[in-house]
Structure 1
Amino acid sequence: MAEENAAENTAAQAAPQVQMRVLGQYIRDLSFENVMAQKGVSGDVQPEIAVQVNLDAKKRATEHQYEVAVKLNLKSKAKGLEDVLFLCEIDYCGLFHIEGIAQDQLHPFLMIECPRMLFPFLRRIVSDVTRDGGYPPVNLDNIDFVTLYRNELLRRQSEAQKTEA
């Protein structure tokens, strides 16, 4: 029993410790187009919102530092109509210092864990912007970044198979 615990402790010490620090967060780009206000239309409308999410990550010049961007596009239409209420595009970035991750696990970590850290701040910004635009605040649902990552991998594999055929 003592030998098993010693072996587990040795294995735990040999495995590199994952270190992740958020060095900074910022809005790279933000656009809110209040279409209904520009048209001068008023009244009680029920918004229907479509959200598109894109992720991007890149290595920075400094060792172990990465920039991760979450790009959201929101398009709100009046329920049952084709009238656009508002368009919101935001490119929200985080700067991360990451060490102790195996190279084959780095990409999934950057595309899943880093956006997960940024999302609560991004959600608040979207809520504030839509409220300040004269609409009820949009409280974004949680995004499953694991499923998003897997779907992107499947899409890329199917594209690769189509080009090979």
Structure 2
Amino acid sequence: MDTYLNIGSIENFREYYTTYAEVAIGEYEHWEEEEWVDAANPDWQKFIGQLSQELNEKGVDGFFINNCDVYDYAPHESIFEGLTAILQNMMTFGKAVIINGGDTYVAEYRERYGAIDQIMTGVNQESVWSSIDFDSGTFREQTSETRDYFCKYLETCKADGVEVYLLE
């Protein structure tokens, strides 16, 4: 069984929220209980590393990683490096590391290093064929431009040897 880890934002209902609330860097649009975090913060990185270690020791099969999109929200070198450090640490367990979304970060990593297998074993992409209209609370067909972008991105990920999953 894979476990969910949110490395780019923090939810206010988590027991550790008050301890790490100071690493928040902005509101997460459409998710009132969530805020983006500074993934470069050493305390946050240490916490995620310890949490990963604990989960690994419990015998999880892998890690389902959410909110590498913080790099899209705050495209700073320090955020890039922080995400990279967190993900490379998780990869040392020799288990699945599946990034949910995070295309801006993953594409930048690939451009810099030529491959993505040092940070992930798979990618899960939401909203390739559908989109969410948050104002009306309904689903719609994704625009052809966005769909084509994600299809190309996912083809590149697959060519790099990682598993590809979709969530619609």
TM-score between both structures, scaled by the size of structure 1: 0.25
Structure having greater relative contact order (Cα 8 Å, sep ≥ 6): 1
TM-score between both structures, scaled by the size of structure 2: 0.25
